Structure 1
Amino acid sequence: MWGTVDILVANHGIFPTSRLEDTDVDFFDHVFSVNVRGVFLAVKSVLPTMVKNKKGRIILMSSTSGFIATPSLGIYVASKHAVEGLSKSFAAELTKYRDITCNVVQPGWIHTPAMETFAPDPPSFAAAAATVPLGFVGLPSDVAHACVYLASDEARYVTGKSICMDGGLTLSDVPEYP
């Protein structure tokens, strides 16, 4: 037994594809069970310790899909919208404890094994990078740095917020520079 929990990073999720007309209720339930219920259960499991210690940092992993639509990922997108909503609601409720915060990190294209399911070869990675205004796919360490910040005392005044780690992917109308 470790005795205490100061930080929770709920970094789990699945993103199987399914077109709307091919999606059944079991598929829907499975995605929501992992992506939403799993987040809820993780937070519920650490909350008593954080309340007792009067301190804690809760970081939920969402996705840029938490606020943009993607064909064939409708159920995943909906589940990440739910994580965004949970985060804001949890944050509002936890303010009464003064030093327990809840925030979200929203990765875009990050070079992970999971990304390889969408972009299994170098030309696909290049195509993904071409959609990012900064011109490259992020690394897991980019996301980790955001989590380290949110877990730190320096972020004690940040709650109910989302940090988007997408290299500008979700910017609209990015101008071309010479």
Structure 2
Amino acid sequence: MPYRSSERGFLAERFNMTYLNGEASVPYRVEAGDFYGFFSPRTLQRPLKGGQIDLQPGGGLGSLQLLGGVSAPNYRNFDLNHDTFTGASALVEPADSAPIAFNVVHGHRKSRVARNGDTMRQTIFSATSEQGLAVLGRQHAVEGELAHFFGDTDVAGGTRNDRHDRGAFSRIASRGSDPFS
């Protein structure tokens, strides 16, 4: 039995190449291979095999991130129909208010319940922001996210197509000088 795999031969579990250029007119970072796709904890947060580019144009637009990848355990059985994601995120940093991130993520995969091999397609649009506040000697972080879902869902007996839904999230977290607060 081969070590750590039932397959024989070379098997890349993880691989990553990163190139970064902070001196370009638009600073950027390019990653290929394994990377962590993250826009927000509720929109996209998962390890992917693929690529991403992060541009830092400045002038009120803090960053523009584009990514595409597959959630797969290794490169040998790479299947583009298995949890494939593409997305974009733009961080806008107005001078007089909190930064706001606008995100869009599209994913598709084979349905887990449909017997006919249907592919589920899902798209999420979201906007998220966080603002720090000092009130009564305590530091607070006010965070919020609004999202819209469009796509297919797995339900018992098959896939439900063309579903729409909206979601909202808010949180206030505080920290004071007392370590137990």
TM-score grouping bracket, smaller chain normalisation: under 0.3
Larger Rg: 2
What is the TM-score with the length of structure 2 in the denominator?
0.26
Q: Indicate the structure with greater helix content.
A: 1
What is the TM-score with the length of structure 1 in the denominator?
0.26
Query: Per chain length, whose mean CA-contact separation is higher, i.e. which structure has more relative contact order (CA < 8 Å, sep 6+)?
Result: 1
Q: Indicate the structure with greater strand content.
A: 2
